[in-house]
Amino acid sequence: MHDGHSANGHDAASVSRGLLDRHRAAPIARRIAALTAGVLFLLGIAGFVIKLLDKGTSDPSAWGYYAALVSFLLTAAGGAVMVAIATRLAKAHWRRPISRASEMFAVVTLYTFALLIPLLFALPSLSDHRRSLWFFGELNVPGYMPHIMTTLSFFFLALAGLALLWMSALPDLASLRDSSWGLTGLFNRLSNTWQGTSRQWFVQYHRLGILGALYFMMLVTTHFLFSMDFAMALVPGWIDALFPATHAHNSLHAGAALMLVTMFVLRRFGGYGDYIGLDQFWGLGKLMFALSLLWFWFWFSSFIIFWYGAKPNEQAVLELLMVGPYLPIFMAAFILNFLVPLFTMIWNPLRKSVWGPTIIACGVLLGTFFDRVRLYAASWSVAAADDKHTLREVPAAIMPDVADVMMWVGGLAGAVLVYILAARVIPIISVWEQKELLLYRMHKPFHRLAEVLVLGKKD
């Protein structure tokens, strides 16, 4: 049996020492990556300033690609945290080397929240007589209710994610505190209450479950509000009760793909190849395959309503989002998110490999990028339509300008930068979970075989 969890040492002390030593090291590759991401992030800021000075915030169509960027980061990074939550709930041992790397994407949700704030100024107010979920005229709600509620949901999503990350990392932060390494004052503030008592371990175990459930609820809520007010409500005639759930599912799909790519980078360039092995790629690859099949189910369930209903406003929505000017982008998303995983991940030799799931995951992330561009660039292009109930004319596809490309490159680089900086403080592989694994594993003789690895369950 392949053992992706094994380390160079087999006792708790050697595991702890090995992982903490790797965390303290500062490889040149990480420094170069951080420097490159920082430079590209500055390029993105320059693109944002150029766009702001050139277009202002009065024309929503100018900010469609920026809205797609915020949506993409919410979709991929927000969903990546769920990999740790879901696999911990399933009590899967193979997830232990990648749980912390998954939880670390909580810092990217905080970064995404910061990117949302400028977008709020470009979103039309309800006083512009646009459609909304918030019954603006009937209940006398504030004209900026969509802005308020979406901001609050993003904030509490980031807060829940950071609380989950902190609670998970608390024992490791205490280990770094006690080892007198570097940022001792910071580690003292982050872990001054942790002594490793039985009660503290018991409380941590249950709080991880509570915070995981809270994060999942906030993730679904945030996708619901963002997809409604920043996409669907902007398009006259677009009424789809399943779209918010589709948006949330896409987050789980892209999150699994992002974690596969992250695992590959940590294994290939991070020096964690003896911790992240075939078991992790095989297990997460199967999950991504199932989510790829669900991608088609969610899309088709919405598509068939519009296609079969065939009302003028429904035909206009299909023309705008799928079969009209954004047809090439939609086909790229359809192929990369569904067809490619369907006809490749069914082959066990490919699925049970390191390179296969990683390459397909890159395609899923690219397909999610295309999907977000077609949804948000198209939606924001008609946000200022005169008729708020029927789309009279489908505009041509809006192509990205130089500032849009700069913002996308810089926005993604900023996400990489904050992840690298967070990994400099918090160990990217959970030390305490690797030590705990030693309590649940043993080698036992089995029939004529020399011995096999046996893994126990926590409960």
Per-residue confidence (pLDDT) for residue 349, from 0 to 100: 87
182-203 exposure pattern, b = at least 16 Cβ within 10 A, e = fewer: eeeeebeebbeebeeeeeeeee
Q: Do 361 and 281 touch, CB atoms closer than 8 A?
A: no
3-state class (DSSP) for residue 452: strand
pLDDT band at 54 (very low <50, low <70, confident <90, very high): very high
Task: Compute the distance between CA of residue 239 and CA of residue 252 in angstroms, rounded to an integer.
Answer: 23
- Checking if the pLDDT of 104 tops 90, the result is yes
Inside any domain, residue 185: yes
Q: Provide the strand spans (E) within 403-447.
A: 441-446
How far CA 137 is from CA of 88, 127, 140, 151, 358, in Å, comes to: 45, 9, 5, 22, 50
Inside any domain, residue 426: no
Stretch (H or E) spanning 189? helix 184-191
- Checking if the pLDDT of 273 tops 90, the result is no
pLDDT band at 137 (very low <50, low <70, confident <90, very high): low
Q: What are residue 452's phi and psi, to 5 degrees?
A: -130, 155
Stretch (H or E) spanning 453? strand 449-455
Q: Could you write out the DSSP letters of every residue in 124-160?
A: PPGGG----SS-HHHH---TTHHHHHHHHHHHHHHHH
Query: What is the sign of the dihedral through the CA atoms of 190, 270, 263 and 338?
Result: positive
Query: Which pairs count as long-range contacts for 273-278, CB under 8 Å and 24+ apart, including other chains?
Result: 274/6, 274/7, 274/8, 275/4, 275/5, 275/7, 275/97, 275/429, 275/434, 276/4, 276/97, 276/98, 277/2, 277/3, 277/4, 277/5, 277/6, 278/2, 278/4, 278/352, 278/353, 278/354
Query: Stretch 36-64: mean pLDDT, rounded?
Result: 94
Inside any domain, residue 37: no
pLDDT higher at 30 or 40: 40
pLDDT band at 129 (very low <50, low <70, confident <90, very high): low
Residue 115 is encoded by which pair of tokens?
A: 């990117």
pLDDT higher at 195 or 449: 195
Give the percent of the chain with pLDDT over 90. Answer: 59
Q: What are residue 455's phi and psi, to 5 degrees?
A: -115, 130
Per-residue confidence (pLDDT) for residue 126, from 0 to 100: 78
Inside any domain, residue 449: no
Residue 11 is encoded by which pair of tokens?
A: 């006792």
- Checking if the pLDDT of 103 tops 70, the result is yes
Q: Could you write out the DSSP letters of every residue in 233-278?
A: GGSTT---TTHHHHHHHHHHHHHHHHHHHHHHHHHHTSS-TTTS-H
Q: Do 191 and 173 touch, CB atoms closer than 8 A?
A: yes
Residue 365 is encoded by which pair of tokens?
A: 């992330």
Inside any domain, residue 28: no
Per-residue confidence (pLDDT) for residue 445, from 0 to 100: 76
Task: Compute the distance between CA of residue 207 and CA of residue 198 in angstroms, rounded to an integer.
Answer: 14
Per-residue confidence (pLDDT) for residue 239, from 0 to 100: 87
Inside any domain, residue 63: yes
Query: Stretch 266-276: mean pLDDT, rounded?
Result: 89
Inside any domain, residue 118: yes
Per-residue confidence (pLDDT) for residue 1, from 0 to 100: 33
**420 CB-near residues (< 8 Å, 6+ apart):** 30, 33, 34, 37
Per-residue confidence (pLDDT) for residue 25, from 0 to 100: 80
Per-residue confidence (pLDDT) for residue 3, from 0 to 100: 41
- Checking if the pLDDT of 300 tops 70, the result is yes
Query: Stretch 215-219: mean pLDDT, rounded?
Result: 97
Q: Do 292 and 364 touch, CB atoms closer than 8 A?
A: yes
- Checking if the pLDDT of 86 tops 80, the result is yes
Q: Do 102 and 84 touch, CB atoms closer than 8 A?
A: yes
Task: Compute the distance between CA of residue 69 and CA of residue 73 in angstroms, rounded to an integer.
Answer: 6
Segment among 122-136, 294-308, 366-380 with least mean pLDDT:
122-136
Query: What is the sign of the dihedral through the CA atoms of 73, 75, 78 and 79?
Result: negative
* Domain that residue 252 falls in: 53-397
Task: Compute the distance between CA of residue 85 and CA of residue 179 in angstroms, rounded to an integer.
Answer: 29
pLDDT band at 136 (very low <50, low <70, confident <90, very high): low
Inside any domain, residue 16: no
Task: Compute the distance between CA of residue 62 and CA of residue 71 in angstroms, rounded to an integer.
Answer: 16
pLDDT in tens, 403-448: 999 999 999 999 999 999 999 989 999 988 888 887 777 777 777 6
CB atoms within 10 A of CB 446: 11
Query: Stretch 228-251: mean pLDDT, rounded?
Result: 92
Task: Compute the distance between CA of residue 80 and CA of residue 257 in angstroms, rounded to an integer.
Answer: 8
* Number of independent structural domains in the chain: 1
Label the pairing between strands 441-446 and 449-455. Answer: antiparallel
- Checking if the pLDDT of 390 tops 90, the result is no
Residue 196 is encoded by which pair of tokens?
A: 């490793």
Query: Stretch 391-412: mean pLDDT, rounded?
Result: 92
Residue 276 is encoded by which pair of tokens?
A: 């992240």
pLDDT higher at 9 or 347: 347
Task: Compute the distance between CA of residue 70 and CA of residue 144 in angstroms, rounded to an integer.
Answer: 19
Give the percent of the chain with pLDDT over 70. Answer: 91
Stretch (H or E) spanning 161? helix 145-178
pLDDT band at 58 (very low <50, low <70, confident <90, very high): confident
Segment among 190-194, 204-208, 364-368, 410-414 with least mean pLDDT:
190-194
Q: Could you write out the DSSP letters of every residue in 45-86?
A: HHHHHHHHHHH-SS-GGGGHHHHHHHHHHHHHHHHHHHHHHH
Query: What average pLDDT does the chain have?
Result: 88
Per-residue confidence (pLDDT) for residue 459, from 0 to 100: 64
Segment among 9-13, 47-51, 63-67 with least mean pLDDT:
9-13
Most confident range (mean pLDDT) of 149-163, 310-324, 338-352 is: 149-163
Task: Compute the distance between CA of residue 447 and CA of residue 444 in angstroms, rounded to an integer.
Answer: 10
- Checking if the pLDDT of 363 tops 60, the result is yes
pLDDT band at 138 (very low <50, low <70, confident <90, very high): low
pLDDT in tens, 67-80: 999 999 999 999 99
Query: Stretch 251-276: mean pLDDT, rounded?
Result: 94
